Amino acid sequence: MFQLFETYITTQASFTKEELALMRTLSTEKKLRRKQFLLQEGEVCRHKAFVVKGLLRNYHTKDDGTEYIMRFAPENSWTMDPESYTNQTPSKYSIEALEETEVIMWSQGSLEEMIAAIPSFKVYSDKIKERNHYASQNRVLMNISYTAEEKYQEFIASFPDIFRRVPLQMVASYLGMSRETLIRVRRMTV
């Protein structure tokens, strides 16, 4: 499993064999079954996870059972609850496997050690944080200013593979619309 991460990370920056060995030593590998949780609402997020294989979703559940999907995490992406992880407070979100999933995880202490010991990993980590910040801003802008049709087109352009891997209800939840609206929008754009 780590070999797949190594293949990915070496396309992002240059690392020595010793640096890659340190990353491996500090990591934990985990396999998740479909519908198994990596994190449940109310738990403290103690790891940052890299998805090697499979698909995760980060979501919040209201008291009435309504789910709000905040993010999908497919292969070659990172996931966690940043607020819970940074502040070590109970998470407002759950992270669940939508498929058989394999992740590599690092604790906060392990990541800090990697950032201190591997300068190129710090640069990479900063780029990921920056990219996530921009993605969050764009997501807010999309939710407050795009039409349903524009949200759908943006989703298809950004995540063409995910659309085929999850039920329509989950895509609708991510887009902040009803399943019926999503079906109507899809018919109009075909």
Residue 82: pLDDT above 70?
yes
Residue 189: pLDDT above 80?
no
List own/partner pairs for 140-149 with CB under 8 A and 24 or more apart: 143/176, 148/175, 148/177, 148/181, 148/182, 148/184, 148/185, 149/185, 149/188, 149/189
Q: What is the pLDDT of residue 97?
A: 98
Using the 8-state DSSP alphabet, how is residue 99 labeled? S
Residues 6+ apart with CB under 8 A from 45: 39, 80, 81, 84, 85, 91
Percent of the chain whose pLDDT exceeds 70: 99
Topology of domain 2-107, CATH: Jelly Rolls (2.60.120)
Dihedral of alpha carbons 79, 107, 10, 123, sign:
positive
Q: Tens of pLDDT along 165-176?
A: 999 999 999 999
Sorted by where each begins, the domain ranges of the chain are: 2-107
Q: Are 121 and 24 in contact (CB under 8 A)?
A: no
For residues 58, 122, 52, 35, the Cα torsion angle rounded to the nearest 10 degrees is -20
Q: What is this structure's pTM?
A: 0.91
Q: What is the pLDDT of residue 164?
A: 87
Beta strands (DSSP E) in 1-127 are 28-32, 37-39, 47-53, 55-61, 67-74, 77-79, 94-97, 101-107
List the one residue out of 89, 98, 128 whose CA is nearest residue 8.
128
pLDDT band at 160 (very low <50, low <70, confident <90, very high): confident
